[in-house]
Amino acid sequence: MSEKLVQLKEILGEVSDLGSAGSILSWDQQVNMPPAGAEARGQQLATLGKIAQEKFTSDEVGSLLEDLKKEYTDPETDEGALIRVTARTYEKAKSVPAEFIAEQAIAATKGVEAWVEAKSKSDFSIFRPHLEKNVELVKKYVSFFPPADHPYDTLLDDYEPGMKTAEVREIFGNLRPKQVALIKAISESKQVKSEFLNKSYNEKKVWDFGEAIITKFGYDFNRGRQDKAPHPFETTFNVNDVRITNRYEKNAPLATLFSAMHECGHALYELGSNPAYERTPLAGGTSLAVHESQSRMWENLVGRSLPFWEHFYPELKKTFPTQLDGVSLKSFYRAINKVEPSFIRVNADEATYNLHIMLRLEIEIGLVDGSMEVKDLPEIWNAKMRDYLGVTPPNDRQGVLQDIHWSYGSIGYFSTYALGNIVSAQLWEQINKEIKDLDEQIRKGQFGELREWLRAKIHVHSHKYDPQDIVKKVTGSTIDSAAYVRYLTKKYSEVYGL
């Protein structure tokens, strides 16, 4: 390793450490911090963010990168990938003043606390000024970069490197009519019964059952933990400290199980990251769409499958004998896969979920290009819910305030959830070609071969390859919705007898 590469990695390590420290503060804010600590926490995050930005965008880093580009030219080597990814990140970061990073951190911290209060009171007016500030900062952020085909491109690139707004719109445009047609066919079929899912379930027993599931998946509690938070999330401090959070909802108690599986999917990706990439820009997942493909796969393609519950349902029924009395495995399986337009994205069934995402994408694009204003969002949200799903949220809590993302300024993020669904199905088809008895393994509660396949094909490469490249390497195709349509059609034809 050249002396200059050693110098660069030392600086990158320090920047990574600062980012990890900020992540710990953010995790603590949502898990432990008393509400009154928000202002000071915002300042702490602002200081760390500003220092990290200044250190990373220094002339020294720029000079080292220019020299190392000439020395490490093979993109397939770890060194070549590190220089390529770091240089791209450096060019974007160099365009953003450190003062702006600090301002955004303070706004995000205040925004999260305002969102928590607004959601608890179902009052959008509490959150409105903070969201207006975040949208203002997002527009300012976009202005730091050369004009793109669409201003939203700049934001999308932060989460899905290289992807354009037009590409996402095309993918969604192809997918939406097929999902709408499937939903229509299902709506004309006899609906399944699911009342037993909404009975009262002991919170601790549900929580413990979820932890037993993800332990079998391979989540290592020596390298992670699960805590309560207002909105489930996964966060990584290093390859040996990957944490998840979850929540319990009285009106959807078993949703806790699927949230645990979802966040575990994210965590397994991070836990499987190549340790050699630690404290560099290569660490962690390559993009949010690929990340979401992992979480949605474990939650849905595994966790909502019949073989999965053939293994786990007897124990679940033993744990909740009163709630599940007289409920057969087939009835339970159909219930957890019931298709019904609903208000809450994270609890939406697979057939309607992407429509929730498309709605949010339209709103984000409207906020960024100025065709929509924050003050009108509750009405816009409800109108689009009627248009997309045929339902109207009864209040702000179940409508425009349900997601945490906008509170900390994450605009450009939502489309990656639907893209992740699409990628998960592409990977699933390939997995089933290579692991012939996968259903039988899942039926026996054996997940090791699946986990290790994902680790070898996806996780260990971390950020070495761009998202479209890694998807094509594994499946032979870039992101394409055909496999997802096949998956949904087959599954719901069986569930509903279409």
Please state, as a whole number, how many other Cβ atoms lie within 10 Å of the Cβ of residue 182.
21
Confidence category of residue 347, pLDDT binned at 50, 70, 90: confident
Q: How confident is the model at residue 346 (pLDDT cuts 50, 70, 90)?
A: confident
Q: What is the mean pLDDT of residues 460-484?
A: 95
Question: Confidence band (pLDDT; 50, 70, 90) for 263?
Answer: very high
Q: Are residues 489 and 360 in the same domain?
A: yes
Name the nearest CA neighbour of 352 among 307, 388, 406, 304: 388
For the four alpha carbons of 491, 495, 497 and 498, in that order, the dihedral sign comes to: negative
Other C-beta atoms closer than 10 Å to the C-beta of 72 total 18
Tell me, yes or no, whether 104 and 214 share the same domain.
Answer: no
Distances (CA, A) of 17 to 5, 32, 164, 238, 240: 18, 21, 31, 9, 14
Q: How many domains does the chain have?
A: 2
Rounded-to-integer distance, Cα 290 and Cα 454, Å: 11
Which of 129, 151, 180 is the endpoint of a domain?
Answer: 129
What digits encode the pLDDT tens for the residues 402-413? 999 999 999 998
pLDDT of 224 higher than 80 = yes
- Amino acid identity of residue 298, one-letter, is W
Determine the pLDDT at residue 22: 96
Same domain, yes or no: 55 and 174:
no
Q: Which two three-digit tokens encode residue 93?
A: 């970061």
In-domain check, residue 156 = no
Residues 309 and 203 in one domain: yes
Query: pLDDT band at residue 231, thresholds of 50, 70 and 90?
Result: confident
The DSSP 8-state label assigned to residue 190 in this structure reads P
At residue 276, the pLDDT reads 96
pLDDT recorded at residue 209: 98
Q: Which of 106, 129, 152 is the last residue of a domain?
A: 129
Does the pTM of the predicted model rise above 0.85? yes
The answer on 285 and 341 residing in a single domain is yes
Q: What is the pLDDT of residues 291-316, one digit of tens each?
A: 999 999 999 999 999 999 999 999 99
Task: Give yes or no for residue 498 having a pLDDT over 90.
Answer: no
Residue 378 · residue 399 · CB < 8 Å: yes
Position 154 in a domain: no
Residue 110 lies in a domain: yes
Residue corresponding to tokens 């095309």: 170
d(CA 377, CA 97): 30
Residues 93 and 181 in one domain: no
Mean pLDDT (whole number) for 157-177: 92
Domain that includes residue 200, residue range: 165-496
Residue 134 inside a domain? The answer is no
Is residue 149 in some structural domain?
no
Q: Are residues 77 and 170 in the same domain?
A: no
Residues 251 and 392 reside in one and the same domain: yes
What tens digit of pLDDT does each residue of 417-440 get?
A: 999 999 999 999 999 999 999 999
pLDDT at residue 1 is higher than 80: no
Same domain, yes or no: 381 and 485: yes
Written as one letter, the residue type at 13 is G
Residue 377 to residue 379: CA distance in whole angstroms? 5
Q: Which of 160, 263, 299, 362 is catalytic?
A: 263
Q: Is residue 229 part of a domain?
A: yes
| Same domain (yes/no): 40, 183 | no
Residues 329 and 201 both lie in one domain: yes
Indicate whether 159 belongs to any domain. Answer: no
Give the pLDDT mean for 76-89: 96
pLDDT for the residue 48: 96
Q: Same structural domain for residues 174 and 117?
A: no
Does 137 fall in a domain?
no
Of 129, 152, 180, the residue that ends a domain is: 129
Span 351-385, pLDDT tens digits: 999 999 999 999 999 999 999 999 999 999 999 99
Express each pLDDT in 96-127 by its tens digit: 999 999 999 999 999 999 999 999 999 999 99
Q: Quick check: 470 and 290 in contact, CB under 8 A?
A: yes
What CATH code is carried by the domain that includes residue 409? 1.10.1370.30
CB 134 within 8 A of CB 409: yes
Active site residue 263: yes
